[in-house]
Amino acid sequence: MQLVRLGPGGSLLLLALLAALTGPCVSRSDAPRGVANPFVFDPKAKCEPSCKHSGICIRNNTCFCMRGYEGETCQYANCFPKCKNGGQCLRPGKCGCPAGFGGKYCHKVTCEEGCWNGGECKALHGKATCLCLSSWTGNKCQEAVCPQGCRNGGSCVAPGICSCPDGWVGGACHTAVCSQPCLSGGKCISPEKCRCRPSHEGPHCEKKRSQYHYLYKVKGY
Ligand SMILES: *[C@@H]1O[C@H](CO)[C@@H](O)[C@H](O)[C@H]1NC(C)=O
């Protein structure tokens, strides 16, 4: 029997190899791996660099890896299922997850501050990200969207709704308020400010300009 030919030390080693083999030795990672079949075994074999994680040097520069490790020198732990979302396999079956990911395989996504207003936490380009409904934006979907814009210092307080500062009204805070109307065809252009036709002047365009001023203004004489 082969065990006998190897001598006492060798048989122990072979027993160790057999023990290691009893677990499934299939590597499912893309990383390069050591050989799976230890039976072509050279007791004088040298491996440089040496086999890591208790791997056994079975032929020159060929490591036989213990269960849970793989790579040319058994340098990589292997995790199955593989670590998701950029997680790193730290020890056999133990993934280290990047921020925003958790669970045994880093398969769970967590947006730390949550996603508001119906937003959903998803992995996007390797980051946990809130995907917002169209009427909300911001990293937590906390900001309402007003497609019409809020002008003159107004702020968007709910989807499509602007809160306007004093003196402004309208869906986009685009209409100025003049508490007294602008007369004679004048227009209220900002709060309490009328722009008068050339023929009139005064805070509310209530005064008629003289003929001279009128012509001067219109024709540039
Ligand atoms: C393994 O390497 C040693 C020295 O590096 C060499 O003497 C030996 O012949 C090699 N064994 C085989 C099987 O190639």
Nearest CA to ligand 1 atom 14: 60
Q: Which residue has the tokens 């790579």?
A: 71
CATH topology of domain 178-219: Laminin (2.10.25)
User: What is the reported pLDDT for 210?
Assistant: 80
Is 151 exposed, middle or buried (CB count within 10 Å of its CB: 0-12, 13-18, 19+)? middle
User: What is the reported pLDDT for 35?
Assistant: 56
From 203, 202, 201, select the one nearest 179 (Cα to Cα). 203
Q: CB atoms < 10 A from the CB of 110, how many?
A: 13
Mutate to test the pocket of ligand 1, among 42, 58, 60, 63 (most ligand atoms within 8 A of CB): 60
Locate the domains of the chain by residue range: 2-77, 178-219
Q: Measuring from each residue's beta carbon to the nearest atom of ligand 1, which residues come in under 6 Å?
A: 42, 46, 60
The DSSP symbol for 1 reads -
- Gap from CA of 16 to ligand 1 centroid (Å): 23
User: Does the predicted model carry a pTM greater than 0.75?
Assistant: no
> Which ligand 1 atom is nearest residue 45's CA?
1
Residue 4 reports pLDDT greater than 50: no
d(CA 83, CA 213): 82
Interval 129-164: pLDDT, tens? 999 999 999 999 999 999 999 999 999 999 999 999
Q: Which residue has the tokens 């002008």?
A: 151
